[in-house]
Structure 1
Amino acid sequence: MRLANILKLGIKELRSLARDPMMLVLIIYAFSMSIYTGANALPETLNRAAIAVVDEDQSPASSRIITAFNPPYFSIPKLITQSEMDRRMDAGIDTFALDIPPNFQRDLLARKSPTIQLNVDATRISQAFTGAGYVQSIVTSEVSEFLKRYRSAASLPIDLSLRARFNQELKKAWFGAISHFMSNITMLSIVLTGAALIREREHGTIEHLLVMPVTPFEIMVSKIWSMGLVVLAASALSLMFVIHGLLAVPIEGSFALFMAGTTLYLFATASLGIFLATQAGSMPQFGLLLMLALLPLQVLSGTLTPRESMPELIRYVMLAAPNTHFVMMAQSILFRGAGLDVVWPQFAALFAIGAILFMFSLRRFRQFLK
């Protein structure tokens, strides 16, 4: 192995990437607009859900219920007629339609348990599931206070003192920003290294490398360090200016420690990108393989949902995936301010997994060049 060959071949990869405008656009978008929009548009968040009300009672009790729906969870209720309700639901105008029947207040005061109908557009599953519970809670609370003739705080047998650590304001944008940030690191590290190898074959330059005094090891390492450096630099800028600067997400831990862990992670995922590229014959095939590998890695690693909520078998199997340890490391450092004494198991796991993936990829790469 000659370090000069690895350095020069890596610089060649950087120059090839600089001449690929689509890849440059993808990198810039993935670490800027993609993270910003992903942080502010979480699908599970109930935000200004469209609601309409059919008030057939026109009583103080029904008016009390209508005025209880306010932003930011719901939009201002739209008063409609009975004949408009189905048409607006069919057209997708309203997510929720509440029908308050005639004589609602009279039956309520007579303790006859009147029925209120709630129609939900279940095609908007993220809002339908959360919003239905909100509507039920609001209606129940308003009816209860109306019957008591005054508003009062609920009397609880205990006093629960809630202390939210690491995200005191419970901002979902903080979690969304870091989740998209980690997912984009995974995606781009695999895409860039795999595309660099496939680009060599499609342009016919792989044959030129084979007649040069360079080894497969030097070729592979050059692609890993060059593409990994691009992703590492882009992630550092995104973390400082987009996540911490624009989105105001606090970084509790050491920035240098996180970058060191990210370097180990990029070593593993870039090796995986080389392995997938050697299995694919073209960029479309590489894209299909990427989807088969990327979706399970992102969904089952703990990025979107806690690993504790997954089946036990999945939790053990995903310990062999590098991004499982990267997610644990990143959340510990960025959110909880953990040091090396806490995250060293994740560092060791990333190094071991990266070494194994590198050996498998190098073996396959040598077969690929024959």
Structure 2
Amino acid sequence: MGRFLRNSLTLARKEWISLLRDGFMLGFVIYSFTLSVYSQATGVSHELRNGAIAVVDEDRSPLSQRLVSSFHGPEFQIPVVLRHEQVDPGMAAARYTFVLDIPPDFQADVLAGRGPTLQVLIDATAMMQAGIGAGTIQGILDDEIGRFVRREAPESAAPVALQLRVAFNEALDTRWFTGTMSVVGNVTMLAVLLSGAALIREREHGTLEHLLVMPVRPAEIMAAKVLANGAVILALTVVALYGVLRGVLGVPLAGSVPLFLAGTAVYLFFATALGIFLGTVARSMPQLGLLFILIVLPMNMLSGGFTPLESEPDWLQTAMQLSPSTHYVAFAQAILFRGAGIAVVWPRFAATAGIGALFFLWSLARFRRHLATFR
């Protein structure tokens, strides 16, 4: 056992030196856990920001003026008051995403209980902003009209009051979720790429044959690659969590970061073993890239990090329980978002360790057969 550890650590040191000398790969890995995390968290917003809105006010009543003034930042720009003939040219020129049309006698019809109709025209070219904005506008209008009616006719107050309680992300800030899940996703992708590329790089440079004439066993070579690449990913995960998420983006990490890192270390045995397995199948870096697209990207997308696992078909949900990435995403979200402890996430830890250990042994067997072809 002492010899195994000594040889593995020596070979791991060789892997670190090789990575430091590969400027492109080193820069890519650092970028993936720093600028990439920041750009993914801030580049795509799922909230409505600075929506361009115009209003056609044919009522000119206190209620209509109240509705116009209810649209303000940061969700909307200052509303622009238009005439009817200006609506179509303005939307065709993409100057306005939303146009609210308030009909004549709107206030009088509301107070008389005649149920008047408000029309909202939406430019759905920007589909996400249009969908979110439609719901936001409806909520604002319902709220303002309800307040006005209750003030003018108290006896018509609504019989039910709805109270919302938002947990775990009270600000509804998508940067918290997108940034954190980009770190989780990059752990899988970079672990697979690093370990797979390390094996292919040794084969292309001819250093794999040098290892075979040394007094080391295939298990020690593979363990060194798992240890070296896993340690690099784990260290950069710490940088991403504390430097980018908490330091730059201000994301409050609810749970224990050491517990999450411990789970990440367990998961990395699977992810790096998967990279080595793909490295034994691929004959070049382009082939590794193609296998990565076919296997790792779908695994990442279906693991629950992009969309809830419950939204997938039942058979696919069952199949994804065999992937450690699914359990990794589940306990990462539980720890970092909801502050879960080991008493809650240990079944996910156990599943990740068990499936990962089986795949590690399978990859080791494949790796031994791969090395036998060089003898």
TM range (shorter): 0.7 to 0.9
Instruction: Judge conservation of contact 2:234–2:261 (CA < 8 Å) in 1.
Output: yes
Could you tell me which residue of structure 1 aligns to residue 27 of structure 2? 25
Instruction: Judge conservation of contact 1:228–1:267 (CA < 8 Å) in 2.
Output: yes
Could you tell me which residue of structure 2 aligns to residue 236 of structure 1? 238
Could you tell me which residue of structure 2 aligns to residue 297 of structure 1? 299
Q: Map of 1:123-272 to 2, 5 A cutoff?
A: 123-146=125-148, 150=152, 155-157=158-160, 160=163, 163-272=165-274
Tell me the distance in 2 between the aligned counterparts of 1:250 and 1:81. Answer: 47
Tell me the distance in 2 between the aligned counterparts of 1:220 and 1:331. Answer: 30
Tell me the distance in 2 between the aligned counterparts of 1:101 and 1:221. Answer: 73
Could you tell me which residue of structure 1 aligns to residue 342 of structure 2? 340
Alpha carbons of structure 1 residues 367 and 89: separation in structure 2 relative to 1, 3 Å: farther
Tell me the distance in 2 between the aligned counterparts of 1:363 and 1:154. Answer: 72
1:14 aligned to 2:16?
A: yes
Count residues in correspondence.
369
**Structure 2 residues without counterparts, runs of 5 or longer:** none
RMSD over aligned CA atoms reads: 2.9
User: Could you tell me how far 1:209 is from its partner in structure 2?
Assistant: 2.9
Q: 1:99 is paired with a residue of what secondary structure?
A: strand
For residues 72-128 of structure 1, the C-alpha deviation after alignment (integer angstroms, 9 at most, x for no partner) is 222222334444433443444432223345665576677665544322222322222
Alpha carbons of structure 1 residues 40 and 355: separation in structure 2 relative to 1, 3 Å: same
1:358 aligned to 2:360?
A: yes
Alpha carbons of structure 1 residues 307 and 60: separation in structure 2 relative to 1, 3 Å: same
Q: 1:179 is paired with a residue of what secondary structure?
A: helix
User: Could you tell me how far 1:340 is from its partner in structure 2?
Assistant: 2.6
Tell me the distance in 2 between the aligned counterparts of 1:292 and 1:324. Answer: 17
Which letter maps to 2:222? M
Instruction: Judge conservation of contact 1:166–1:335 (CA < 8 Å) in 2.
Output: yes
1:329 aligned to 2:331?
A: yes
For residues 163-219 of structure 1, the C-alpha deviation after alignment (integer angstroms, 9 at most, x for no partner) is 544444444332223212211111111111111122223333333333433333222
Instruction: Judge conservation of contact 2:46–2:174 (CA < 8 Å) in 1.
Output: no
Q: 1:2 is paired with a residue of what secondary structure?
A: helix
For residues 9-55 of structure 1, the C-alpha deviation after alignment (integer angstroms, 9 at most, x for no partner) is 22121112112222222222222223233333454222222222334
Alpha carbons of structure 1 residues 201 and 94: separation in structure 2 relative to 1, 3 Å: farther
For residues 235-255 of structure 1, the C-alpha deviation after alignment (integer angstroms, 9 at most, x for no partner) is 112222222333333334333
**Structure 1 residues without counterparts, runs of 5 or longer:** none
Instruction: Judge conservation of contact 1:61–1:105 (CA < 8 Å) in 2.
Output: yes
After TM superposition, the score normalised by the length of structure 1 is 0.87
Instruction: Judge conservation of contact 1:145–1:151 (CA < 8 Å) in 2.
Output: no
After TM superposition, the score normalised by the length of structure 2 is 0.86
Could you tell me which residue of structure 2 aligns to residue 279 of structure 1? 281
Could you tell me which residue of structure 2 aligns to residue 318 of structure 1? 320
Tell me the distance in 1 between the aligned counterparts of 2:125 and 2:266. Answer: 42
User: Could you tell me how far 1:349 is from its partner in structure 2?
Assistant: 1.0
User: Could you tell me how far 1:232 is from its partner in structure 2?
Assistant: 0.4
Could you tell me which residue of structure 2 aligns to residue 39 of structure 1? 41
Alpha carbons of structure 1 residues 61 and 235: separation in structure 2 relative to 1, 3 Å: same
